[in-house]
Amino acid sequence: GESVGLHLPTLSVQEGDNSIINCAYSNSASDYFIWYKQESGKGPQFIIDIRSNMDKRQGQRVTVLLNKTVKHLSLQIAATQPGDSAVYFCAEMGMDSSYKLIFGSGTRLLVRP
């Protein structure tokens, strides 16, 4: 199967600070990207998405940045809260007929009180 099955890096931040989580994607033909949050023992939860014709999209407390030149995504979380502690994954999808979502390696976010 397709995956980047690396052990998870960890980002530790102080409550109230901003968090930036980075992701490198693999396929230059991918044109839809999503960030997911996964809490222990649960399925991924949608956070925010972005299409390749955009380079920035904002949600509530979250911003996704897309740099297609270097195939890089980032997720910025403002005023990080203890409830934000989880593993975050980026996922990419190509607009072929399969619509498969391929997940990148995740990042564990730990929020210190």
Partner 1 sequence: GAVVSQHPSRVICKSGTSVKIECRSLDFQATTMFWYRQFPKQSLMLMATSNEGSKATYEQGVEKDKFLINHASLTLSTLTVTSAHPEDSSFYICSARRGGGEAFFGQGTRLTVV
List 76's β-bridge partners, or say none. Answer: 20, 63
| Minimum CB distance to partner 1, residue 16 (Å) | 27
CA distance 55 to 2: 25
Residues 12 to 31 in contact with partner 1, rule: CB under 8 A: none
Q: Does 86 bind partner 1 (CB under 8 A)?
A: no
- What end-to-end distance do the CA atoms of the chain give, in Å? 38
> What are the φ and ψ backbone dihedral angles of 60, each rounded to 5 degrees?
-80, 110
Nearer to partner 1 by Cβ, of 9 and 82: the residue is 9
Task: Give Cα 46 distance to the centre of its chain.
Answer: 10
| Minimum CB distance to partner 1, residue 12 (Å) | 16
Place of tokens 């999808």: 93
| Minimum CB distance to partner 1, residue 85 (Å) | 15
> What residue ranges bind partner 1 (CB under 8 A)?
1-8, 34, 36, 41-46, 49, 89, 98-106
